[in-house]
Structure 1
Amino acid sequence: MSPEASKIGETPKPPDPSEVEAAVDQDPPEDRPPSYEVDKSLERQPDATEEDWRLGSPLDRDPPCPEDWATRSEPNLIFALTPITTTSVIREWFKTVPERDWFAVLQVNAKNIPGLMRHGFYCSLANFVPGRGSILLDRRELLKERGLGRTHCKHIRAYKAKGNENTEIEWRGTLEVYAKTSSTLINFDLNWLTQDNMLFAKAWDWNSKQVYSYSRYRERRNFNVVYEGMPLKGWWPWPKASPP
């Protein structure tokens, strides 16, 4: 990819503004949702491989990976993260959205979505490319145009990431972090990107059909039509294996 690819203006489009608005406007639950109990009857058998994904039903299976998978402008995997906040009395009275210190979106071009589900999607400090980041300060209007006005952020920081190179589960990604203050952005710690801060995640097949969805505050709408009932590892927020 060319050096110009790291510019903010050339990164993939952010998630659907209406979905972001709805997600950040949800009241955090008083308690954490119960752990997901895996229904053994729904688990795919071990012989369900990525080849099944390529050859199966067009409704929930992917055709062969296109050659331009890594450079497509539209990502096929998105993770959004932001700290959990506590509902305040002021918010209840005035129906305002609580200010968050930061809001992050990792947009991924993945070569093999079912492969990443079977093996887990992992992103750590080692996956971020040194020298490929950038910062834009005082861009509140730009964030409003992107549908991120309610995050109360006005600064943007971008990172480039990649993983599992030269394998069937290779991926390329762009992480954008939005912050209220420049100090938060400049001193942003990538270790803050944890499972506890996952807001939503979505994945699509090569026909732009959505095959996975998770929302922190809309648990009943979570789905995975690729491997139904199979616990997922790494950054995949749902479903998770029940603790032993």
Structure 2
Amino acid sequence: MVLMPPNKMEKMSSDEPEAAPPAYESLNTSDQQPHRVVPPATNGKRYFEKETKSHIAFCFSPDPTKPYPTQLWSAQMIIKCDNVPQLMLEGLRWTTDSVLWEDGYVAEISAAYMHIKTFEDLCEAGLTWTRHYFLQDIQQEPPRWIAHLQVHAETCKTLAGIKLGELSIQNVVSAYAWGSRREYIYSWIKKKPWEAYNAIYDDMPMDGWWPWPKRENI
């Protein structure tokens, strides 16, 4: 409702005919938001159709030092890439700008997308709803990697309240990487930092989301 000054209201009369609205075809939309091509909601089609196997995995939680049953949510990110050593040398980075927002969806937890032991632990903890995000490299073209991030919680309300932009390296529980023959080449666990190893570059500092080694730890 638009309030009008008294002097304007006094000039209006109920006997005056109301002006007809403009025809749909005549509406000028040039001042509205410019047209943007938006991809359809494909539920991660780009990730699932990429033939490259997964080579990197990260686990996250609000407090990486505590077990599943005490967490409000838990998450895993599985990354497909063609060259893990390159990401070790150049750094592995992502932000909310990396998210393919139109590909995301919410569903009940599925064992198809994770290790069976992880699936069982999450179910036992009651974290049975999953929000699926998909991300890809925006540093280079074509993208060097594409990822599937699953965030698990007890309710959809909790999932809706999670702000992906607030996720940080401090939330990393563990990180792993493996080569083309599925042999481990990198391992780091928050609770057991003394067992960490990089079979490719030893203790070379790595930038971005790699939790170890960091320059300050060398």
Establish whether TM, by shorter chain, passes 0.5.
Answer: yes
Please, what is the CA RMSD of the aligned residues?
A: 3.2
Q: 2:161 aligns with which of 179, 187, 190?
A: 187
Summarize the Cα distance change of 1:140–1:228 in structure 2 as closer, same or farther, 3 Å threshold: closer
Report the AA paired with residue 84 of structure 1: D
Change (3 A) 1:178 1:11: farther
1:129 paired residue number: 100
Cα distance change on mapping 1:123 and 1:151 into 2, 3 Å? farther
Aligned with residue 200 of structure 2, among 203, 208, 226 = 226
Residue 17 of structure 1 is matched in structure 2 by none
Which residue pairs with 1:59 in the alignment?
none
The 8 Å contact of residues 108 and 174 in structure 1, kept in 2 or not, is answered as yes
User: Which of 44, 48, 54 does residue 6 from structure 1 map onto?
Assistant: 44
Q: How many angstroms apart in 1 are the aligned matches of 2:217 and 2:205?
A: 11
Q: Give the share of equivalent positions with the same residue, in percent.
A: 24
| CA spacing shift, 1:151–1:237, aligned 2, 3 Å | farther
Compute the displacement of 1:187 (Å). 2.1
Aligned to 1:159: 133
CA distance in 2, matches of 1:175, 1:85: 17
- The corresponding residue for 1:71 is 51
Taking structure 1 as reference, are residues 106 and 160 closer, same or farther at Cα in structure 2, changes over 3 Å only?
A: same
Q: Is 1:105 matched up with 2:80?
A: no
Shift of 1:4: 5.1
Deviates more, 1:178-187 or 1:144-153: 144-153
1:149-169 per-position Cα deviation (integer Å, ceiling 9, x unaligned)? 2443121110111003425x7
- Structure number with the bigger relative contact order (C-alpha 8 A, sep ≥ 6) is 1
Equivalent residues of 1:5, 1:11 under 8 A apart: no
In the alignment, is the contact (CA less than 8 A) between 1:85 and 1:100 conserved in 2?
A: no
Residue 197 in structure 1 maps to residue 171 in structure 2: yes
| Partner Cα separation in structure 2 for residue 181 and residue 119 of structure 1 | 38
Please tell me whether Structure 1 or Structure 2 has the larger radius of gyration of its CA atoms.
2
| Partner secondary structure for residue 242 of structure 1 | helix
Question: Quick one: distance in 1 between partners of 2:105 and 2:75?
Answer: 14
* Matching residue's letter, 2:179: D
Change (3 A) 1:151 1:194: farther
Structure 1 residues without counterparts, runs of 5 or longer: 13-67, 88-95
Q: Is the 8 A contact 1:101 1:181 kept in 2?
A: no
Per-residue CA distance 1:132-163 (angstroms, 9 max, x = gap): 100015x5999996233244312111011100
Using structure 1 for the length normalisation, give the TM-score: 0.62
Aligned positions, number:
174
TM-score by length of 2: 0.69
Local SS of the residue matching 1:123: coil
Can you list the C-alpha shifts for 1:1-32, whole angstroms capped at 9, x where unaligned? x965627xx977xxxxxxxxxxxxxxxxxxxx
